[in-house]
Amino acid sequence: MSSTPEPSLLHRLVAFGPHAGAHRIAVRAAVSMLVPLLVLLAIDRLEWSLYASFGAFTALYGRERVDLHRLALQTTVGVLQTTLITLGAVVAISPERAWLAVPIAALVAVLSTWLSVGGRWHPPGPIFQVFAFSAVASVPGTWEQVPVAAAVAASAAAFALIVGNIGGLWRRVRRTAPLEPPELPIGGVVAGLWRQAWLSGAGVLLAGSIATAGGIGRPYWAMVSAAVPLMAVTLTGQVVRGLHRLIGTYLGLLVAAVLLLPEVEPLVLIFLVAALQALAELFIGRNYALGLVFVTPLALLMVHLASPTEVPQLILDRGLETTIGVLIGVLVGLAGRGIPEKRRTSLPSGA
C-alpha cells in the first residue's frame, strides 16, 4: 500500500491555510486593543500602554471555543497575563532587571507551555506570556508602578473578556447557545508534554542569556523567538516555524520602517496598532510568515508607543535578536531529539 509522501519544506513554507472565520477574532482583537489605548491617550498615560496591550492579548485565545468554554479559557489567560505583567513590573524595579528577567522568563516559558499544550489552548505556546513578562521587566520601574501595572492589565483583560464573550451571552439570552462543547483542535493524548515545556524553557534561557550578554537592547525578542520553533514537535516543523519567523520578521521590519520613520501622532499610532492587530489575526493562522509581516510592526509600535525610541535602533535590535532566538530555538530542538519521551500524558478533554 502506497503512503502519501510528506510535504516538502518549500511546500510547508508557502502553504496557505483556510480562512476559518478569522475575521471574527480579528475584529475582537482589534477592538480589545483599540479601546484601552484610546482611554490611556485620553488621560495622557500612554506610558502605561504596554500593560494594556499585553492584557488585551487575552482576546486572542479561545477562537475555536464558544459560550462558557471560551469564557473559562479567556478568564484563565487574563489572570495569567495580569499576574505576569505585575511580576514584570516588580522585576523592573531592580537595577539587575536585565539578568534577573532571563531565568524567570525561562520558568514562565516552562509553565505557559505546559498549560497551553496540556490545556489545548489556541494559540498554543508561551509566546505571549514570555513577551508580556520580559518586555515589562525590561523598562525601569518603581514600586508605585506595580499596582498601576496590575490594574491597567486587569482592566484591559476584563474588557477583552467582555468583547470576546458578549456574543455568547447574547446567544444565551436568546436561548440559542450550543448545548455541547465544540471539538477541540488538539485531542487524544499529549506526547512528551514535559519535554516540550522544558525545551521551551531552555531555549528562552539560552537566547536571553546570549542577547543580554551581548548588550543588545531588547533581549525579550530573542527569548520570544527562541520559543517559536519549539512550539512544533517534529524537527521539520521546528525548522519551518523558525524560517517563517525569520522571513516574516524581515519583511515586517520593512513595513515598520515605513510606518515609524515619519513623525506620527500618537492617535494615528494607536489606530495603526489596532489595524495591524486585525491584519495579524486575519493571516497568522493561514501562513505564519505572512502573519508576522503585520505582527512585527505591531510589536515595534507597541514598544514605541509606550517609550519612544530611535527607530533605526529599534529595527536593528528586532532583526538581530530574532535571528539569535530562532537559531537557538532550532538548535535546542535538535538537541532535544535525543531526550526520550518517558510517557504519554493523557489529559481530560476540558483541561
Confidence of residue 309 (pLDDT cuts 50, 70, 90): confident
Q: Which residues contact 176 (CB under 8 A, 6 or more apart)?
A: none
Looking at the predicted structure, is the pLDDT value of residue 345 above 50?
Answer: no
Could you tell me the three cell numbers for 251?
A: 519583511
CB 55 within 8 A of CB 39: no
Residue type, 281: E
Q: Are 248 and 16 in contact (CB under 8 A)?
A: no
Residue 161 contacts residue 76 (beta carbons within 8 Å): no
The candidate with the shortest Cα–Cα distance to 51, out of 37, 62, 34, 41, is 37
Number of DSSP helices (H) and strands (E) in the chain, helices first: 13, 2
Of the two residues 32 and 4, the one the predictor is more confident about is 32
Q: For residue 349, name the pLDDT band (cuts at 50, 70, 90).
A: very low
Summarised one tens digit per residue, pLDDT across range 249-302 is 999 999 999 998 888 899 999 999 999 999 999 999 888 999 999 999 999 999
pTM here?
0.89
pLDDT, residue 216, reads: 86
Cell of residue 146, nine digits: 506595580
pLDDT per residue as tens digits for the range 136-180: 999 999 999 999 999 999 999 999 999 988 765 655 555 555 545
Cβ atoms of 32 and 52 closer than 8 Å: no
State pLDDT tens for residues 120-132.
898 889 999 999 9
Contact 82, 133 (CB under 8 A): no
Distance CA 223, CA 317 (A): 13
74-75-76 Cα angle (round to 5) = 90
Cβ contact 279:238 at 8 Å: no
pLDDT score, position 350? 30
Do residues 38 and 112 make contact, with C-beta atoms less than 8 angstroms apart? no
Check residue 187 and give its pLDDT.
37
- Cα 317 to Cα 310: distance, rounded to the nearest angstrom: 11
Ramachandran area for residue 188 (φ above 0: left; ψ -120 to 50: alpha; else beta)? left
Confidence of residue 342 (pLDDT cuts 50, 70, 90): low
Please give the mean pLDDT across all residues of the chain.
87
The answer to whether the peptide bond before residue 181 is cis (omega within 30 degrees of 0) is no
pLDDT score at 3:
56
